[in-house]
Structure 1
Amino acid sequence: MTTATAHFQPGNLVRARGREWVVQADSSFDEATTLLRLRPLGGSDEDTIALIPELEFTPVEPATFPWPDATQPGNHAAALLMRDALRLKLRAGGGPFRSFGNIAVEPRAYQLVPLLMALRLNTVRLLIADDVGIGKTIEAGLIVRELMDRGEITRFAVLCPPHLVEQWQSELLSRFNLQAVALTSASASRVERELPHGVSLFDHYPIVVVSLDYIKSERHREHFLSIAPECIIVDEAHTCASSGAVKQLRFELLQRLAKDEARHLLLLTATPHSGDETAFYNLLSLLNPEFAQLQNRTSAQDPLRVLLARHFVQRRRKDIVEWQAQTQDLRGFARRMKTEQTYKLTGDWGAFFDNVQTYCREMAEAIETNEQGQATGQARLIWYATLALLRCVASSPAAAVKALTTRLEGKTGTALEADGEDLLEDDRLHDGEADDMAGTDLEPAGQLSPQLQDAQRLQALIADAKRLSGKSGDPKLANLIAHLDGLVKEGFHPVVFCRYVATAHYVADELRKHFKQATVLSVTGELSPEERRDRVENMEDADTRILVATDCLSEGINLQHLFTAVVHYDLAWNPTRHEQREGRVDRFGQQAPEVRCTMLYGQDNPVDGFVLNVILRKGEAIQKELGVLVPMPEDKTRINQAMVKAALMKRVSAESRQMGLGFEEAEEILAPLQAQWTDALEKAKANRTVFAQRAIRPEEVMPEWQKQQQALGTQDDVQRFVQSACARLNAPLEKARRQSFKLPTVHLPEALRQRLDDEGLVKEGDTKGLLIDFAELHRSHPLVTVLADHLIETALQGETSITARCAATETDAVQVVTTVYLLRLRHQLSYVRRKEPYQMMAEETVAVAVQGRTNPVWLSDEGVAQLLQSTPTSNLPRELITREIQQSLDFAQANQEYLGQLAKERAQALLEDHRRVREAARDVGQYSVSPCLPVDVIGVYVLLPELL
């Protein structure tokens, strides 16, 4: 390395184009050309430039950081603000986790396990199969953010189902400060048109969230393969591995992506093994083709299984709870309290249900009297109408009216025979497969063609359904209102899940009549994903809120920040649906100590009874035994047959059911499925013993996270900084709603308002101000970054009214003259991974103090931070302030050797931190850390003892 090149290493200071810069880690040095990436000394990352030293008119030269000017002192409050701004501005922090300065989330210790696993792999290939709500998105985001901040990847793509695209975009931006573009069937043409000529997609948009629907076609698939980045995240990965033509195409795509042995691949799923052995081992083969051989190898000591444990992590909710209890981690999950509410089909509503059931049974019997009835499409049409009508009647009067008034069109003659089976697989009858929960929430058609029905009876049924709408005629609705009364009085915010659009609107309308002081909104599949998200977020200000939704919200939009209870107004025919509903509320980030979950069902309704006793109870038992839900095997034909048998059973009293009457005939039809389900449970239990992740202990490295958080600034630091900065900028925060504050941006300096406008936080001419919720305002939020950049820049330019680089204060907090030195340490961090060398810059802010000047005693513990927060007791003459600051500057100049030694000790401590994390993760690679000298003296603050 030449002497000139040595001056340009990451972290060094240089002078170019008339100002000082810090050399960034993504500078490049080769034999032909040196390309410097430079950040202004007091500027933000957005002001970074690139230049080639050989092409500059004025040579690029080494520089030193300017020391404070004793003739421009400020006050003590401005000194503390300077310290906070400097800490909160740091992005390339000194700790072993490079990403922690760039994330807006505080990870739990268990969420570090996949990150640690990734650090020990040359090429990251992981299957993260944690339970619903544990935080797989957080875990994957930590890994890709870390790889990017280490310089090991520059691009990545997320492949996910269409309904998760917006959620991924939002999570990457809000939690990890990663700007992603969506590539969907609707947006792809626009995105490609906006690309500059000759520039590829990933060169222009390094981070892309890709809808799996978009790459269905061969043309899109081949195009994506030709430009695919070096890192891929696949969400709901099980949807790419099971049977079916579309899923087979997805699997082939992933196989081709995985063929590049250098490509990082993160597979995310809460249901890796749903009883489909082939699909499970297909998933494993993407990590390593050899893992497919494990399907026929059962020994837990098999070396291939031991190898797989390095690539596969699966934790149940109960695993996390048990671990947190052992480590006394108090930030656990909410308690999920389950209960059931029942109602009876009494009075006119019971008679109406019986009339619909009789109507369906008589139509079925009429068809079966025909010798060919069972073989014709007409029979299947009757079964469809039976399921449609009784399911909608069990849902609500509104859904019943919709089904009774919607005719099955175009199903006559030979078309019935050809289409009958397809008709019974209509998604409107079912609740989505285990790997596809985003089904339609429209009501199925229940009105048959005229030749197959009695028009007069049909009209009478429709009239009855309309007449019975409302609390007085609908016992199910009355029960819901009574239950919600209790929840609301206890302070809960419930989400009521319905199966159909008509039911959701009906329930919401009726609840508004009863809960007049509450905000009651409905969200259904009629709205676009963006409209659904906006409607949910608009409920934030409500003191009492009740959301009524269909299962369009059971995936894709997190509800844990606004809601604390779930009511299953309609029982799902798929246990996975119930878990998905509850998992929207009871998940990582839920602040309430308890989440209430309620199943509402008719105790004398044969449809509800069959679903509850034969399907849901079985799912609950499996989940209780294993700790995670095993999806019910798919077999729509058997399920339809069993459901029809159950639906046509006559209603019986509770006393009769206790005498042994049940669903034996329907259960017999489902017996093969129940056997498959039990078999899937046993296989999943066997796999748990192999894949439980115990080798990595997150509590061993959690102190590194906590240490780094203290170095970078805590949430309390953020709040103090923002409140103090805004007050000193003549725009003090105003109390708004609940925990929120309003920043009157109109009073801020013009330059600062413009930067907030550039970040999209305020708009030109906007006088409403900016709402701030400190529970959500993390250190990497654009507001915090812009404020810190502005204050540091004004301080370096010599403006002392807001922040100060030097001050002298009289206080009773000290007994002798004490000087606090605010230092910025810059380190060069080098390591080797996959035989590739990497160089990075690490920065940290350190406050040290010295007591006395003749016999100085250096302090560098937590007490130094407290000195900066001491309270001044009186004002000092300007001449005295300048003299005291200058003496302290001279002292520091005379003790440069001590400051240099401090920097070396900090570099060694940083190296030890990296080694400790590396050992916990069995990280691969070699590390070295060296300080960039001389140390930057940012601030000098003299504390004088109070004169007696």
Structure 2
Amino acid sequence: MLMIIDRTSEWKKGLVERLEDREPWGNWTLYKMSYEVAQSNLITDFHGLQCPKYLPDLKPLPHQLEAAETVIERMNGKAILADEVGLGKTIEAGLILKEYLIRGLVKKALILVPSSLVNQWVDEMNRKFHIPAIPYRKNYDLNHCQIVVMSMDMAKRSPHKENIYAQNFDLIIIDEAHKLKNHKTKNYEFVQHLKKKFCLLLTATPIQNNVQELFYLITLLKPGHLGNYETFQSLFSSGEYHVDQEEFLRELVNQVMVRNRRQDTGIEWTNRHVQILPIDFTPEEKEVYDLISELKQVSPDFSDAFSTMTLQREMCSSKEAVYVTLEKMREKSIKPEDVAYMDRIIEKMSALDINSKAEKAYEIITQANNKVILFTEYRASQIYLQWYLHKKGITSVLFNGKFSKSKRDWMKQLFKDRAQVLIATESGSEGINLQFCHHVINYDLPWNPMKLEQRIGRVHRLGQTQDVHIYNLAIQDTIEDHILDLLYKKIGVFEQVVGELDDILSAYKETI
């Protein structure tokens, strides 16, 4: 108990006034009541959480309470919350913030999130934790805002950036922290310069593509914890380090990272059934694919490897996606032979009347006979697939990052109430919870396995009552074979450093 000794003599004046009956004495009963209230609010032991007793409407799960306690007691409020998707990292962050508020260690906090999640965070902090968080508006004075939720996109732009830099925050919370990537990005540079006492980085996927990304996240929290970059790179970036080095790195990481897996929570989870479904192009589709693959040889000055790879991936999705890119390339071309070759590709594409991958997707949707989320990488493929499914009598709605917040919410509601299929681009794998659905088709495979985990996590999360079925489509003898190989390698790196993942790819199977 902290005792404050007042060395002034002001008390004498008050005592004399009361002794001479010029001022009334204080009420003894009220004094005792005030004393008892103050005594009951004293926190005499720093171990254990105080906040649950102030949250009568929230019933945190054991792993969430343990995570919050670990961050506060062992990690000094600087941590990566890296639970698997759907285990409640937002709840853990809310518990930590509430605990620090109660203890008086945090008075000013900034929560940085993707723009689509601002209202969701504000609602959860207010409704579940009784924390008076507000969404930031352009005319707000941050000097008078205690708990602010702001989109990262807005925060890093002037004049908001300069206003934020002028503040001294007790706690910074960053959702989807994997988007910070490394020191070369604007997001990372912005966060690096924030004044903060405590910091929480929330991400189910702290390694997206390589182990250097984890180095930079940890450096934000504790500079020097993993040594300097050159030493770290020489030891761990090759992917060929020894077992003792791997264990040493994991031990260092675990000092700043809390990661709960579904199977370790004691909760009974529904099963996850994952398949890779190989697809064969028709001879006509393969001919177009081969023409695209030869584009670099035909015109080495015009086409680079990246452009060719992009067109190959698009061809594995839909001819509509290829056409959009090819038309842009054609407009920029100045060589008649380049234009003629691309016209030949377009002519061959126009004659295609079958999309083998779309047919497989339709087969899955028909057999599922239930709601299905279908993820594609391209908006042109989105539109095509909606037309294709409509022609087959399947109702669907689109979902992509170009939609406003209100339209995204409306599409989600239409999917829940009326449509059988939600056709989403990558933005659909972030920030929406769709436990009422339990079929996911990865129509296009991403380069990054963590994006697959994010997609699956939209449905395989707390509240899911059915087994979840995941279908990964891959066209054989194309660039998608290479993507699969790369995905497996990246999963290996993640599991070496962070820990095991739930199944997201599985092995090849010929039938559904």
Task: Answer whether TM exceeds 0.5 for this pair.
Answer: yes
1:366 to 298, 303, 312: 298
Identity of aligned residues (%): 24
Q: Is the 8 A contact 1:157 1:207 kept in 2?
A: yes
The change in CA–CA distance for 1:457 and 1:220 in structure 2 (over 3 A counts) is same
Counterpart in 1 of 2:202?
268
Cα distance between partner residues in 2 of 1:601 and 1:450? 35
Equivalent position SS for 1:398: helix
Structure 1 residue 596: deviation in Å? Answer: 0.9
Post-superposition Cα deviations, 1:592-633, rounded to whole Å, max 9, x if no partner, equal 241111111223x41222222x2233345556774049xxxx
Cα distance between partner residues in 1 of 2:494 and 2:214? 19
Q: Is the 8 A contact 1:356 1:461 kept in 2?
A: no
The change in CA–CA distance for 1:606 and 1:359 in structure 2 (over 3 A counts) is closer
Cα distance between partner residues in 1 of 2:469 and 2:402? 28
Equivalent position SS for 1:540: helix
1:460 to 337, 343, 347: 347
Counterpart in 2 of 1:396?
318
The aligned amino acid for 1:210 is M
Counterpart in 1 of 2:487?
616
1:339 to 267, 272, 275: 275
Q: Is the 8 A contact 1:404 1:462 kept in 2?
A: no
The aligned amino acid for 1:153 is V
Q: Which has the higher contact order (CA 8 A, sep 6+)?
A: 1
Post-superposition Cα deviations, 1:797-843, rounded to whole Å, max 9, x if no partner, equal xxxxxxxxxxxxxxxxxxxxxxxxxxxxxxxxxxxxxxxxxxxxxxx
Structure 1 position 586 matched with structure 2 position 467: no
Structure 1 position 548 matched with structure 2 position 423: yes
Cα distance between partner residues in 2 of 1:343 and 1:242? 37
Structure 1 residue 101: deviation in Å? Answer: 4.5
2:290 to 350, 357, 379: 357
The change in CA–CA distance for 1:406 and 1:300 in structure 2 (over 3 A counts) is closer
Instruction: Show the 5 A alignment for 1:536-575.
Output: 536-542=412-418, 545-555=420-430, 557-575=431-449
Counterpart in 1 of 2:19?
none
Instruction: Show the 5 A alignment for 1:815-826.
Output: none
Structure 1 position 172 matched with structure 2 position 105: no
Q: Is the 8 A contact 2:207 2:494 kept in 1?
A: no
2:309 to 387, 404, 417: 387
Instruction: Show the 5 A alignment for 1:228-247.
Output: 228-240=168-180, 242-247=182-187
The change in CA–CA distance for 1:107 and 1:248 in structure 2 (over 3 A counts) is closer
TM-score, length-normalised on structure 1? 0.43
Cα distance between partner residues in 1 of 2:254 and 2:326? 56
Cα distance between partner residues in 2 of 1:274 and 1:478? 31
Q: Is the 8 A contact 2:192 2:220 kept in 1?
A: no
Per mean C-alpha deviation after superposition, the further-off stretch among 529-538 and 618-627 is: 618-627
Equivalent position SS for 1:106: coil
Counterpart in 1 of 2:83?
130
Structure 1 position 209 matched with structure 2 position 149: yes
Counterpart in 2 of 1:220?
160
Q: Is the 8 A contact 1:104 1:177 kept in 2?
A: no
- Higher CA-based Rg: 1
RMSD: 4.1
Q: Is the 8 A contact 1:133 1:584 kept in 2?
A: yes
Structure 1 residue 109: deviation in Å? Answer: 0.9
Counterpart in 1 of 2:374?
496
Counterpart in 1 of 2:478?
606
The alignment covers a number of residue pairs equal to: 453
Cα distance between partner residues in 2 of 1:283 and 1:154? 25
Q: Is the 8 A contact 1:399 1:503 kept in 2?
A: yes
The aligned amino acid for 1:566 is V
Counterpart in 1 of 2:258?
314
Post-superposition Cα deviations, 1:182-210, rounded to whole Å, max 9, x if no partner, equal 34xxx52xx33xxxxxxx4252x322122
Counterpart in 2 of 1:506?
384
The change in CA–CA distance for 1:483 and 1:272 in structure 2 (over 3 A counts) is closer
The change in CA–CA distance for 1:508 and 1:32 in structure 2 (over 3 A counts) is farther
Q: Is the 8 A contact 1:240 1:250 kept in 2?
A: no
The aligned amino acid for 2:274 is K
Equivalent position SS for 1:230: strand
Q: Which runs of 5+ in 1 are unaligned?
A: 1-29, 34-56, 64-91, 193-199, 368-372, 413-448, 630-948
The change in CA–CA distance for 1:142 and 1:529 in structure 2 (over 3 A counts) is same
The change in CA–CA distance for 1:337 and 1:276 in structure 2 (over 3 A counts) is closer
Cα distance between partner residues in 2 of 1:311 and 1:100? 28
Post-superposition Cα deviations, 1:853-876, rounded to whole Å, max 9, x if no partner, equal xxxxxxxxxxxxxxxxxxxxxxxx
Instruction: Show the 5 A alignment for 1:48-87.
Output: none
Instruction: Show the 5 A alignment for 1:658-669.
Output: none
Cα distance between partner residues in 2 of 1:100 and 1:514? 55
Instruction: Show the 5 A alignment for 1:574-723.
Output: 574-587=448-461, 589-603=462-476, 605-612=477-484, 614-620=485-491, 626-628=499-501
Post-superposition Cα deviations, 1:312-371, rounded to whole Å, max 9, x if no partner, equal 233252xx41x44xxxx3x3333211013233222xxx314313522652x43333xxxx
Cα distance between partner residues in 1 of 2:249 and 2:276? 42
Equivalent position SS for 1:223: helix
Cα distance between partner residues in 2 of 1:353 and 1:405? 20
The aligned amino acid for 2:97 is V
TM-score, length-normalised on structure 2? 0.75
